[in-house]
Amino acid sequence: MKLINKKNFISIVCISFTLIVCGKLLIEKAAGFTDVHYTGNIFTCLGFSVIITAVLALHFYLQRFPLIPVLIGQYLLVAGATVAFVKAADVIAGTSTNAMWQMLLSVTIPFVVSAFVYYLVFFKQIKKANAILAEINRENTEV
Amino acid sequence: MRFIKTREEGLRENYLELHYHEVDEETKELIARLDTTLSNVEGSCDDRHVSVPVTEVLYFETVDRKTFAYTDSMCIEMRLALNNILDMYSDAGLIRISRSAVVNVYRIDHLQGDMNMRTIIFLKNGEKLIMNRGYKKEFLAELERIKERSRK
């Protein structure tokens, strides 16, 4: 089943964008920080919502391939888009000296955490399925 | 409904006998399930026509547009497509694990995950099958359903 398709792509981007912006505003409010590049950062959030949703949408089509190359490919795609985005932003408006590193870190951390959670859930599901199979086999043997 | 098991020495073939006054919903459901479980799959093996109980089939697989049923000792070429097999024998515990394979859940020994998040299915005869990530959710849901059904 496709979780992200043409019909729900825009709505998923909108929801992700809203949540990211709300999170950004809450953190800024809590930290008492004023964002001087407010407009630019809002559009950055939108750009990344589109890129990450597009990369996740590819997941369905890549299910028959081994996961590790898929994850590496997806990460390289996102990292490449990030580098291109920061370079373009630097040409248009100028960015701080460590903008590239910060942006790559912002992409890498959620990616690694998501992959870890994905693995954890997968092996937990296998454990649960084995318990069910053992139960089914036991019941069959008893009869 | 009561279920009585009786051991009989020297019986050549096990049999089930249903005693009823009226066929109620519960009985009807049980008969339907037994019909599927006790039905046979038919096909050819070494140019001979063979018929084996669906419960003996380990898995079904499509290779070059031909469907095969694998038992412990035979590979039976069938005329049915995998979708038809699933429709006909779904109550016998068959679950799809890839585009080209359907496994009999009662013939699975255990599962194992690999680093690429594919699930390796170890059958009771020692054979291994690979389940694609795309079929995992459906497989787990079906497994839950079978567990609930066998508890009833």
Q: Enter the ipTM.
A: 0.74
pLDDT interval class at B62 (50, 70, 90): very high
Spatial distance between the Cα atoms of B90 and B104, rounded to a whole number of angstroms? 9
Using alpha carbons, select from B126, B44, B101 the residue that is nearest to residue B78. B44
Interface of B with A in 66-125 (CB under 8 A): 105-106, 108-113, 115-119
Q: Concatenated DSSP letters for B88-138?
A: HHGGGTEEEEETTEEEEGGGEEEEEE-TTSPEEEEETTS-EEEE-GGGHHH
Confidence bin at B148 (pLDDT 50/70/90): confident
Residue B147: list chain A partners with CB under 8 A: 132, 135-136
Average pLDDT over residues B18-41: 79
pLDDT tens digit at each of 143 positions of chain A: 556 778 888 998 999 899 999 999 999 999 888 888 788 788 888 888 888 888 778 777 777 777 788 888 888 888 888 888 888 877 877 767 787 888 888 888 888 888 888 888 888 989 999 999 998 888 776 65
Interface with chain B: mutation pick from A2, A116, A133, highest number of B CBs within 10 Å:
A133
Q: What is the pLDDT of residues A111-137, one digit of tens each?
A: 888 888 888 888 898 999 999 999 888
pTM: 0.69
CATH code for the part of the protein at B25-151: 2.40.50.1020
Strand partners for B62: B67
B139–A123 C-beta distance less than 8 A: no
Average pLDDT over residues B69-87: 90
